[in-house]
A and B are shown apart, each in its own frame.
Chain A
């Protein structure tokens, strides 16, 4: 079992560009959440997908969007990148909408220059 896999591991983008980050959940998991973690801060919840729909959303602008595919994998898209979008982006998966712990990927380090 590969656990939660994220790609790419590192990424450098220019201000104003668009970026797509990818996440494959742990086998058997159907709920995927995305988090943004700035240096020295805790992970901030961006949104959560279940059954290919966005179910929960944190306090992030519409520049942040996502998608979940029928195989439960997910993408996070960020448009019009700002320097402040530089962060570690974490994907977490779990099974269903019940009370279960989450499994995290190793993250994608995004640097906006």
Chain B
């Protein structure tokens, strides 16, 4: 299966804390993408990490990739209430040419 599986399914933290969510996948990949979805709305692309990269930063986001373990993690530092959303990882393989999503991690950041 191409899809990634996010863990945990749900995460509840206070504002200012860091949030870490993980993604595991089974196929070989060319890159892995993370998306955010606010309740009932479309997904927004957050960051793409290529298979030859181990770590990537974008603002308060830090993504790591371990292709030997077929896993990735997304760290959101100094979380804000506005970070409350569902987060999805999408492993990408050029052979598949499509994004496949798991059930996501639901993050709740309380003020």
Contact = CB atoms under 8 A, between A and B. Distances in A.
A104 B97 contact: no
B85 to A, nearest CB: 13
A42 B97 contact: no
B40 A88 contact: yes
A42 B35 CA distance: 11
Contacts of B42: 4, 90, 104-107
Given A101-B33, A103-B45, A104-B44, A45 B103 contact: no
A48 B17 CA distance: 39
A107 B101 contact: no
Given A42-B88, A42-B104, A99-B92, A107 B41 contact: yes
Interface of B: 3, 30-31, 33, 35, 40-45, 48, 88, 92, 94, 96-104
